[in-house]
Amino acid sequence: MSKQVKQLDRVIIRFAGDSGDGMQLTGDRFTQESAVFGNDLVTLPNFPAEIRAPQGTIPGVSSFQVHFADHDILTAGDAPDVLVAMNPAALKANLGDLPKGASIIVDTHDFTKRNLDKAGYNTNPLETLGEVNDPLAGFAVHAVDLTGMTVEAVKEFGLSRKDAARAKNMFALGLLSWMYGRPTDGTEAFLAKRFAKVPDIRDANLMAFKTGWNYGETTETFAVQYEIKPATMAPGTYRNITGNLALAYGLIAGGVQSGLPILLGSYPITPASDILHELSKHKSFGVTTLQAEDEIAGIGMAIGASFGGALGITTTSGPGIALKGEAIGLAVMTELPLLVVNVQRGGPSTGLPTKTEQSDLLQAMYGRNGEAPVPIVAPQSPGDCFSAAVEAIRIAVTYRTPVMLLSDGYLANGSEPWQIPDVADLPVIDPAFATERNKTVPGKPAKDGTETPDTTEFWPYLRDEETLARPWAIPGTPGLEHRIGGLEKGEGHGNISYDPANHDLMVRTRQAKIDRIADSLPPLVVDDPSGEAKVLVIGWGSTYGPIGAGCRRVRKAGYRVAQVHLRHLNPFPHDLGDILQRYDKVLVPEMNLGQLSLLLRGKYLVDAIGYNHVRGLPLKAAELAEAIGHLVAEAEGIAVDLTPAATTTVDTITEEV
Amino acid sequence: MTATPHISDLPMPDLRTGVELVPTRDEGVTETGKDYTSDQEVRWCPGCGDYAVLKAVQGFLPDLGLRRENIVFISGIGCSSRFPYYLDTYGMHSIHGRAPSIATGLATAREDLSVWVVTGDGDALSIGGNHLIHALRRNVNMTILLFNNRIYGLTKGQYSPTSEAGKVTKSTPMGSVDHPFNPVSLALGAEATFVARTIDSDRKHLTAVLSAAAAHRGTSLVEIYQNCPIFNDGAFDAIKGADTKHDAIIPLVHGEPIRFGLEGSKGLVRDTETGGVKIVPVGTEPGQVGEDALLVHDAHQPDPSTAFAISRLTEMGYLDQTPIGIFRQVARPTYDDQSRAQIGSAQDAAPGEPTDRLAGLINGGDTWTVV
């Protein structure tokens, strides 16, 4: 039979099922297929902190959202156009996020009394379709026995019923791959490799995948196939990459570009552990990974390695930073290069381990005793984690300082196509180890009046005039033996000093050194197409996508707004103050209660207006656009209406996000 | 026999020594303790046991024959942790309790360094207890000098995790109800490969133990009884007094029967009732045990049970009985050697310029090209 093919410019699909149903894998494969096909895309994995929460329950639901388009997109999308629900709980947990008109593909197999009870359904919603009080009214529901068809399809491999049913995610993937015209070679190769050691399982998964595809092609349940053309992207080689992988690669690149061996001291913590896992694979780059007994030991090991002339790195999330605070202060005082990676998650305390948040900015800024300034770098997208890591290493090595790299759970697990950089374009980082004594001490006249010759000494706190960085003299260097530590240093010679004036000088000097980093930063890029916007939206970190998408919506509706995004949170770039002064209103969207707002207000006396959500999820572009619209209306004294002309069903979406 | 131990010639059971990968001093160059003395004024209280240990270490380090710039001392916080400032080597005075973790990172990153940790009973056993036990189980190549004065000195006299129960201090005016640690038992329980105990005032014994500790490949823990004349004076009088030390010190010498007391009047035998060891009178009279029946000390015994049993003879109240010497010295692959071996074999398997390999890495996976 011939099927109708409809053109779409973008689609948001959410795969949802039980934690054990393989939804992350399914979503990841669909993403890879879409990436290779050439769509632009952004993903949003969402899973519970429990490894296997009680089966069939709402807390056990795991989902993976992928937004793919024929044009440049910035977010994983506010609301799915298509929900694939593998059980009642997955349906119930995600239904609230769907706009009317969305499609639901639901596996009917698990809609048993027991599973409906677990999900809190009194009646089977699939049996009340079209009736009064139909909870699925307004949606295009495709109820299909995915599990049953999977079990039937893989019968020949003689698997247990349980193992056979586990291939249902591949059946679903096959079906969706047909529906959206995805290439299948990659997934077939992936399955062949992943299950190479268990041929029955491998063949069953391949069969389920193919059968799912064929089912779409032959069944009348699905009458339409959709086409989303490849996006126009800048020339180059691309790959799909998650933030944690890009960050790990960036760390390795920093090691290569500085010629320093890396030593990572790390204690496992969600959502940062994948960086530890990844770096552990790359020993051939001289990367040592030490799984520490606790968070403090992790940074201690990194500091010890840095003292020895390696690049010490520690990776963690917010609770780990709380434990590392004193050691970060030691690195501030001893002025050793050190990279501290915080993949932020919902807090406080244990908070929301698998959900995203940006609430550790002030902790990064001020979370230590004493005046202990630490430079802060924040990536803005998953792929950007690579260059942000290289930049953080540049600062750490050049300025002999601990640097905080602030990623977050959304960047860590989310993915996007990444234009792979040319290694030749990466900065070269010079460790510039000290090799010679740096201080000439004049000889003193002896009692008999004869002069004694000048001598040379090594002064570990004699600074570079430009950067204020101190020399990095590593053990094994003869003649430069010296002692450092957490007690206050005398200026220059670095011996213990309790002198009041010296302490005042050293506190100010350490701050001045961090402030000097701003001299090495490029000017900010202000995105203000009309050049006449009165409202500036400023953000940092992973909110780049939603802020950009929100600004696009506002501009598309005919209004003016400017956007600037901060990669360096400490020190701020030199031109930030001037930029802020140019606009009547400054909006600061953040996934916290206003931490960047507080810093901007404190430093620039600007009336920063917060836009704050802490829901453990990325900001929604449509809601943010409304907030921007209100501010534009206020600033320009005009009425603002962002309502798009078209309705938002799957078939008719044209609006750019 | 007398109670003076001879322990410095303990043969090493390991294949490599602790300092084997550390560059040695140029031939013809001689160094003395003065070369290891920094220009900083020593600021411990008069009479502090730390002075004696410092002198012994400064005097002993030249004997290692290593390049001075390849020796590093890392300390935590406390009186003893000021130690690195007074040695003209590389050094770091770090934060409370964390020195073992810092030394672990340093020793793993640099095989060519002789790494020493200086810590105290509060630093190592209280705030840094976790790092200590994990350093010992990992067996990173370093030597930990644990100065045990059984009191908090720098914070002016609170009880420590080795203070005896009932101790009256500023923070325990009615007497401490805290049960103390026995550092040697703790180290043996943590699977340490080298565990020894010595005394600040016995320079000969101290130096002999330090030599053996430095020669050991892996983490060596040396507990040094050290008197604090200000807040816990006299804590070690029994083991230092001419009249009392024969009965108070149980000397451990590898391969020798364990015998002590005036003219060797006491010795150790296995206690079949408890599975541990017990003290018996030695001699030929009825009720006495002959020397040939005494327990012969075997520091190389892979099973730590007997060493642990001996460590339990330490009096945890006022110290009037304690074994002194090397309790345990066994070979076990070190964490840092194995970690470096993994790096080395991975590097051997991946030849080529790092920048080329980096390009290969980031271009891996499913890629596509837009023209």
Predicted model pTM: 0.94
| Chain B CB within 8 Å of residue A332 CB | no
Mark which residues 351-410 of A lie under 8 Å from B by CB: 386
Nearest to A239 among B101, B350, B366 (CB): B366
**Chain A contacts of B89, Cβ < 8 Å?**
481
A308 touches chain B (CB under 8 A): yes
| Residue A511 burial by Cβ neighbours in a 10 Å radius (0-12, 13-18, 19+) | middle
Q: What is the pLDDT of chain A when averaged over all its residues?
A: 95
Contact with chain B for residue A237, Cβ under 8 A:
yes
Q: Is the pLDDT of residue A646 over 50?
A: no
A655, pLDDT greater than 90: no
Residue A302, H or E segment: helix A295-307
Residue B334 contacts A, CB cutoff 8 Å? no
**B343 interaction partners in chain A (CB closer than 8 Å):** 283-284, 286-288
Q: In Å, what is the CA distance from B303 to each residue of B169, B194, B308?
A: 39, 13, 10
Per-residue CA distances from B295 to A506, A650, B302 (Å): 60, 86, 16
Contacts (Cβ under 8 Å, ≥6 apart) of B105: A263, A265, A290, A300, A301, A302, A303, A304, A305, A306, A308, A312
Q: Are A149 and A167 in contact (CB under 8 A)?
A: no
pLDDT in tens, A392-421: 999 999 999 999 999 999 999 999 999 999
Token reading at B290: 């002959």
In this structure, the number of other CB atoms found within 10 A of the CB of residue A626 comes to: 16
For A471-551, strand residue ranges (E) read 483-485, 535-540
pLDDT of the residue at A648? 41
Q: Is some CB atom of chain B closer than 8 A to the CB atom of A288?
A: yes
SS3 string, chain B, reads CCCCCCCCCCCCCCCCCCCCCCCECCCCCCCCHHHHECCCCCCCCCCCHHHHHHHHHHHHHHHHCECHHHEEEEECCCCHHHHHHHECCEEEECCCCCHHHHHHHHHHHCCCCEEEEEEEHHHHHHHCHHHHHHHHHHCCCEEEEEEECCCECCCCCECCCCCCCCCCECCECCCCCCCCCCHHHHHHHCCCCEEEEEECCCHHHHHHHHHHHHHCCCEEEEEEECCCCCCCCCCCHHHHCCCCHHHHEEEECCCCECEECHHHCEEEEECCCCCCEEEEEECCCCCCECHHHCCECCCCCCCCHHHHHHHCCCCCCCCCCEEEEEEEECCCCCHHHHHHHHHHHHHHCCCCCHHHHHHHHHCCCCEEEEC
* Mean of the per-residue pLDDT values of chain B: 94
- Note whether A305 contacts B339, CB cutoff 8 Å: no
Q: Could you say which of B84, B363, B365 has the minimum Cβ distance to residue A483?
A: B84
Q: Whole-angstrom Cα distance, residue B88 to residue B79?
A: 18
Q: Would the pLDDT of B234 be above 90?
A: yes
Give the pLDDT of residue A654. 39
Is the Cβ of B102 closer than 8 Å to some Cβ of chain A? yes
Are B107 and B88 spatial neighbours (Cβ–Cβ below 8 Å)? no
Cβ–Cβ contact B295 with A under 8 A: no
Q: Tokens 């960050």 correspond to what residue?
A: A247
8 Å CB contact between B153 and B78: yes
- Tell me how close the Cα of B99 comes to any Cα of chain A, in angstroms: 8
pLDDT the model gives residue B8:
52
Test A235 with B371 for CB contact under 8 angstroms. yes
Identify which of A38, A478, A495 has the shortest CB distance to residue B69: A478
The average pLDDT across B241-266 equals: 96
Collapse the DSSP code of A377 into the 3-class scheme (helix H, G, I; strand E, B; otherwise coil) and give the result.
Answer: strand
Comparing alpha-carbon positions, the chain B residue that sits nearest to A423 is: B359
Which residues fall within 8 angstroms of residue A169, CB to CB, at 6 or more apart?
Answer: A15, A17, A21, A22, A23, A25, A26, A86
Q: With contacts defined as CB-CB under 8 Å, which chain B residues touch A334? A: 92
What tens digit of pLDDT does each residue of A298-354 get? 999 999 999 999 999 999 999 999 999 999 999 999 999 999 999 999 999 999 999
Residue type, A36: V
Show which of residues 350-369 on chain B sit within 8 Å of chain A, judged by CB atoms: 350, 354-359, 361-369
User: Which residue of chain A comes nearest to B356, CA vs CA?
Assistant: A423
Inform me whether the C-beta atom of residue B131 falls under 8 Å from chain A C-beta atoms: yes
- Residue whose token pair is 């094994």: A476
pLDDT score at A448: 80
Determine the Cα–Cα distance for residues A338 and A374; give it in Å rounded to an integer: 10
Cβ-nearest to B88 among A294, A481, A487: A481
- The alpha helices in A458-499, defined as continuous H runs, are none
pLDDT at B12 over 80: no
Beta carbons of A610 and A590 less than 8 angstroms apart: yes
Question: Hey, are the CB atoms on A334 and B347 less than 8 Å from each other?
Answer: no
Whether A233 and B370 lie within 8 Å, measured CB to CB: yes
What is the structure's pLDDT at B9?
52
User: Is any Cβ of chain A less than 8 angstroms from the Cβ of B165?
Assistant: no
Which residues of chain A have a CB within 8 Å of the CB of B101? 265, 292-293, 296-298, 300-301, 304
What digits encode the pLDDT tens for the residues A157-204?
999 999 999 999 999 999 999 999 999 999 999 999 999 999 999 999
Over 60: is that where the pLDDT of B319 sits?
A: yes
3-state secondary structure of A168: helix
Residues of B in contact with A424 (CB under 8 A): 355
Q: Closest chain B residue to A38 measured between Cα atoms?
A: B368
Furthest-apart CA atoms within chain A: distance in Å: 113
B170 near A CB under 8 A: no
Least CB–CB distance from B69: residue in A307, A334, A475: A475
Interface of B with A in 172-201 (CB under 8 A): none
A535 at B interface, C-beta within 8 A = no
Q: Where does the pLDDT of residue B4 fall: very low under 50, low under 70, confident under 90, or very high at 90 and above?
A: very low
Residue in A36, A241, A284 to test binding to B, most B beta-carbons within 10 Å: A284
Mean pLDDT to the nearest integer, B207-221: 96
Distance CA A182, CA A447 (A): 91
Distance from CA of B287 to the nearest CA of A (A): 51
Kindly tell me if the per-residue pLDDT of A541 is higher than 90: yes
Best mutation site among B41, B58, B86, B110 for testing chain A: the one with the most A CBs within 10 Å? B110
Task: Round to whole Å and give the CA distance between B317 and B179.
Answer: 10
Strand pairing category for A103-107 and B194-199: unpaired
How many other β-carbons are positioned within 10 Å of the β-carbon of residue B327? 26
pLDDT of residue A47: 87
Report pLDDT digits (tens) over A425-453.
999 999 999 999 999 999 888 778 788 88
Phi-psi region of A447 (alpha: psi -120 to 50; beta: other; left: phi over 0): alpha
> What is the CA A55 to chain-centroid distance, rounded?
29
Per-residue CA distances from B72 to A482, B67, B107 (Å): 10, 11, 10
Backbone angles phi, psi at A379, to 5 degrees: -75, 155
A560: three-class secondary structure by DSSP: coil
At residue B323, φ and ψ (nearest 5 deg) are -75, 140
Question: Residue B106 and residue A308: Cβ atoms within 8 Å?
Answer: yes
Angle between helical axes of A185-194 and A23-37 (0-180°, round to 10): 140
Q: What's the mean pLDDT in B34-55?
A: 96
Q: How far apart are CA A359 and CA A596, in angstroms?
A: 10
Cβ separation B368–A38 shorter than 8 A: yes
Which residues of A fall within a CB distance of 8 Å from B364? 239
Would residue A352 be called left, alpha or beta, if left means φ above 0 and alpha means ψ between -120 and 50 degrees? beta
Phi, psi of A562 (to 5 degrees): -110, 150
From residue A262, how far is each of A285, A316, A339, B113, B175 by CA, in Å?
8, 16, 10, 18, 50
Confidence of residue A656 (pLDDT cuts 50, 70, 90): very low
Report the C-alpha gap between A109 and A457 in whole angstroms.
79
Q: Which among B68, B97, B136, B134 is positioned nearest to B304, based on CA atoms?
A: B136
**Do the beta carbons of residue B336 and residue B107 sit within 8 Å?**
yes
What is the predicted pLDDT for the residue at A2?
66
Name the band, by pLDDT with cuts 50, 70 and 90, for residue B15: low
The model's pLDDT over A220-244, given as tens digits with 9 standing for 90+, comes to: 888 899 999 999 999 999 999 999 9
What percentage of chain B exceeds 70 in pLDDT? 96
Distance from B302 to chain A by nearest Cα, in Å? 25
Give how far A60 is from chain B: nearest CA, Å.
Answer: 31
Comparing CB atoms, the residue among B95, B361, B370 nearest residue A234 is B370
**Which residues of chain B does A370 touch, with a Cβ-Cβ cutoff of 8 Å?**
none
Q: How far apart are CA A346 and CA A324, in angstroms?
A: 18
Cis peptide, bond prior to residue A348, ω within 30 of zero: yes
pLDDT at B262 over 80: yes
Query: Would you call B346 and A283 a contact, using CB atoms and an 8 Å cutoff?
Result: yes
The tokens describing B63, both together, are: 């004997």
For A233, the closest chain B residue by CA position comes to B370
Decide which of A654 and B36 is more confident: B36
- Cβ–Cβ contact B89 with A under 8 A: yes
Q: Is A493 on the interface with B (CB under 8 A)?
A: no
Gap from B132 CA to chain A (nearest CA, Å) = 10
Record: contact A475-B370, CB cut-off 8 A: no
Q: How confident is the model at residue A624 (pLDDT cuts 50, 70, 90)?
A: very high
Is A483 in CB contact (< 8 Å) with chain B?
yes
**pLDDT grade, residue B170 (50/70/90)?**
very high
CB atoms within 10 A of CB A138: 12
The residue of chain B nearest to residue A386, with distances taken between CA atoms, is B362
Q: Is the pLDDT of residue B370 over 70?
A: yes
Chain B CB within 8 Å of residue A284 CB:
yes
Question: How large a percentage of chain A has pLDDT more than 90?
Answer: 92
